[in-house]
Amino acid sequence: MTGRSGRGAAALVPYVLILGLTLILAAAPQWVSLPVPKDAVPLTGALFSLDGGEAVPVTLPHRWPDSAGFGPARGTYRMSVDLPASESLLLLLVPAAQHTLSVRLDGLRLWGSDRQSWGEPALASAYVLAVPPTREGPGTFEIVLDRESGAVPGYLSQLYLTGADATAPWGWLWSFASNGTRTAVVGLQTLVVLGITIVWLARRHDPIFAWLFLIGIGSFALSIAGVLPAHVVSVNGQSVLVFALAAFGLMALGLALSIVETPRPPWLKASVLALPLALVAGVGAGVLPPFLAALASSAVAIGGHLAAAIVLFVNALRVREWDRALLAVPFFLTAWYGLRDVGILTGAIDGVLLLSSHIRPLTTIAVLTLLMRRLASSLDQIDGVNETLRQKLSAQEQELSALHLKDRMRMTQAAREDERGRLMRDLHDGLSGHLVSIIALSQAQTANPAAIERAARSALDDLRLVVNSLDLDDSDLILALAGLRERLEPQLRRLGVALDWSMEKLPQVTGVTPGNALSILRILQEAITNALKHGEPSRISVHGATRGDGAATIVIRNAVREPAATDIADDRGHGLRNMARRAETLGGEVGFERGDGCATLTLVLPAHLPES
């Protein structure tokens, strides 16, 4: 349960209300009575005989004398009345009678709410009986109270005769008190027990629901047993239902300890069944006088409920959770009325009606309230937990996306570093070499402008080659090659060499990273340079094609001088080795053929270049 304790005096309000309600209900028997219609005719005098004995005049309300003793007994009241003329139905109101009541008027049975549907006959009940309107003038009522078992004395309150219309404003209350309550209580009890059973089946580990289930089932069983014929549930003239009271005391204590989260003694649950059984056995075997056994059972019931009430109220105050004190109200009242009932039965208190069992509906209501409160607070907790989880989740998602972003930035950074490293290497390999040559050439004793220009142009070519290899899409090989062609065209034109270039038949090659592109461009550049250096051609053709296996080929063909100059073979071999090495890193190869005045260099590239 969630503590919803307020601050200061406001926090005490629920406890004051609970305490006030308890006191009001505890005092209720002193001032609560059924309203009697104004013009009702009270019937007070009667002739009473017990078990067919001598009739003695008595005044109502009347309680059986102690001579009624123990066990089955029948008390008969006769009262002569002068029935008034009435146009409507006459009613005989019986505010309270203990034990099974039946009424005859001049031998004719009166019908009304006398048929007890639920509840123990020993408890006080109200009755509303119809008197036929045809009867007028003198008549004699014979009122019989039948006690089937136990020591509870018969009791008959004052009676009233009244017209049916006169009861109108309070008719519902009479009807409710006479029979409606009992039925309603059983219906309510059935529903609550059903609910508790379902919860308990789903939460077998929760002691609160286990005890609630026990109490529910127990009182339900008691209600059922209450309508059985007395001899079925009696032993030695004593209804066993009284022995069940002890079990309720123990169960109240068990429930209270569970609510305040205190361990229950292991014998407690066992005693719930063992103690009533022991009492029944003791009475059955004649070891225990029934009255004494009933007193013992009542004592345990009263003690258990009182202890439970105290435990709950004190704990609720201590932990500031007022709903824990809810059950303390019916528990205390059960103990209080129980004590009063015992007092009445033993003659210690001057009273007539037994009330403790009437608290059961109040217990049911308290349990229902408790359950609903727990349900509400559980839902609140779930909401809270959901909100917390949602916040945690969103925090984690943010963290994750931040990590992801960082990761991506790191990857981008790494890629940039790689690219920068490659550019540095490329510039170092090509451009810087040429620049160093230019410095050396320009510092030579006999400066050779043509050589300087060549070196500078080579440097620029190399720079353009590097720039050309940047910013390519994955499959932009033809575009990369076009950049080379665009640079070669004016150079070759200056030398009077025609360039026959076609890449239309080149297949799609993927994996064209800037590094791979640069390697391919360097191979081709070197091939062209070699062709110019060694061949002095008037025409160079560069054609792309697809090989049977899907690989790409680029064939560079040019005319060569005849015969082959052996003195340059080494140089050419070095260039070829260089190209072959580059082609190898691309997963490709370089082939060179020479014959018929023609040199052919073939570069083969796989359809997918390896990651560089």
Partner 1 sequence: MSAAEPAPPDRAPYRIVLTEDDEPVRERLAALLRGWDGGELVAVCATFAESLAAIETHRLDLLITDLKLPDGNGVDAIRTLRRKQPTAEAMVISVLADETTVLDAIAAGASGYLLKDADSIDLIEAITDLMAGRSPISSRIARVLVQRLGAHPREDQPPGTARGALTAREMDILWGIAKGFTYAEIAERLGVSRQTVPVHIRNIYRKLEASNRSEAVFEATRLGLIRL
d(CA 532, CA 536): 5
Nearer to partner 1, 485 or 572 (CB): 485
Asked, as a colleague might, if the bond just before 61 is cis with ω within 30 of 0, I would say: yes
Phi, psi values for residue 541, rounded to 5°? -110, 140
Amino acid, res. 155: Y
Cα end-to-end span (Å), the chain? 66
Nearest Cα neighbor of 504 from 551, 544, 555 is 544
C-beta of 522: minimal distance to partner 1 in Å? 18
Of the listed pieces 73-81, 105-113, 335-343, 465-473, which binds partner 1 according to CB under 8 A? 465-473
Binding positions for partner 1, 338-367, rule CB under 8 A: none
Q: Does 555 bind partner 1 (CB under 8 A)?
A: no
Q: Does 449 bind partner 1 (CB under 8 A)?
A: no
Q: Does 504 bind partner 1 (CB under 8 A)?
A: yes
Amino acid, res. 389: L
Of the listed pieces 192-200, 253-261, 380-388, 456-464, which binds partner 1 according to CB under 8 A? 456-464
Of 78, 264, 320, 464, the one binding partner 1 (CB under 8 A) is 464
Q: What are the distances in angstroms from CA 550 to CA 364, 507, 543, 560? A: 87, 7, 16, 30
Q: Does 454 bind partner 1 (CB under 8 A)?
A: no
C-beta of 487: minimal distance to partner 1 in Å? 9
How many other C-beta atoms lie within 10 A of the C-beta of residue 40?
Answer: 16
How many other C-beta atoms lie within 10 A of the C-beta of residue 417?
Answer: 10
Of 8, 490, 548, 595, the one binding partner 1 (CB under 8 A) is 490
Nearer to partner 1, 94 or 556 (CB): 556
Q: Does 383 bind partner 1 (CB under 8 A)?
A: no
C-beta of 572: minimal distance to partner 1 in Å? 28
Beta bridge partners of 45: 59
DSSP per position, 10-47? HHHHHHHHHHHHHHHHHHHHHH--PPPPTT-EEE-EEE
C-beta of 564: minimal distance to partner 1 in Å? 32
Of 427, 501, 572, 592, the one binding partner 1 (CB under 8 A) is 501
Q: Does 485 bind partner 1 (CB under 8 A)?
A: yes
Q: Is 322 exposed, middle or buried (0-12, 13-18, 19+ CB in 10 A)?
A: buried
Q: Is there a contact between 483 and 468 (Cβ–Cβ < 8 Å)?
A: yes
Q: Does 429 bind partner 1 (CB under 8 A)?
A: no
Q: Does 460 bind partner 1 (CB under 8 A)?
A: yes
Nearer to partner 1, 126 or 488 (CB): 488
Of the listed pieces 172-180, 193-201, 363-371, 478-486, which binds partner 1 according to CB under 8 A? 478-486
Q: What H or E segment, with its residue span, contains residue 608?
A: none
Q: Does 541 bind partner 1 (CB under 8 A)?
A: no
C-beta of 460: minimal distance to partner 1 in Å? 6
Binding residues for partner 1 (CB under 8 A)? 456-457, 460, 463-464, 467-468, 471, 476, 478-483, 485-486, 489-490, 493-494, 501-504
